[in-house]
Structure 1
Amino acid sequence: MRTFALTGFASLGLTLAACDGATGDAAPPAAATPETSAPAATSTPMPSGEAQPITAIPAAMQGRWGMTTADCDPDEAANKGLMTVDATTLRFYESVAEIGDATLAGDTMLRGTFAYEGEGMQWTRDLTLSLSGADTLTLEELGDDAVEGPRLYTRCA
């Protein structure tokens, strides 16, 4: 399986998808079953202290985030690295993720299960969102079929 993470696509559906090589078309992974959707270990540990259950993404993590400067350009039609975060969703180039069960550790790290929909497919993904300062947000997917490593986003001006 090849991932698109190295080419700058922020869409979880695209970054998780297998590429058929001939057309470049991608399809999101199959939906996780209840038996396989248990949270996996993360390479980014949760901060010490008690995690608090939440139903909304903290305001400090909300906004428009880009993997590159071009992703933040509203005139750029192919800003595939743009992630828009509001109180309950993460929006990517070709997919949307809605918050499910989630916890917040301190004010800077959210860990939760998100329900995705994109390109006619639905799936779930466990992930962490980590805020570093006011302008850097890191997204890291968890699980066997997750994209490896963290993806860094910078707040769009």
Structure 2
Amino acid sequence: MSVWPAWEVREHESVTRWFSVRIDFADGARVEVLAVTAGEGVCIEDVRAQPPLSLDDLTALADWIEEPLVEACGGDAAAQAGGAAAGPLSGRARRAWPSGVEGRRLVAEEYRAAQQDGADPVLAVMGATGHSRRRSLRLIAGARDEGFLTPRHVRR
């Protein structure tokens, strides 16, 4: 197994770091993971596997990468998360987020709060939902369609 830093973003006093993790198995199987460490913990953002992982293997993935990822962070992940790095890693990668109208309303609240704070609203939605950038943009578009956010472009 190998872990290496992919990139890092510093905003004011917070740091978000992405790490690439690669697991090569003796039978030739391979898993590549993009993990993100932020102030609230560690999330798995992307997984690629050859052959594809079963649901049981996907659930166990967090356990496979937890220790090497924390070592690669120099223990920073646990310190940043207030010791909670094991929590997000040992279970599901993303938090439960309500679906439907309630979820779109919460997305709109996160988006507007980030705008008021002068932060990137898309990153705020990504952090709140645990979803990728593409999925977060879809959620934001859904909130706009539902009328919780103003339209992106004024129609003439």
Q: TM-score surpassing 0.5? A: no
TM-score band, normalised by shorter chain? under 0.3
**Which of the two has higher C-alpha Rg?**
2
Name which structure has the greater RCO, CA cutoff 8 Å, separation 6+. 1
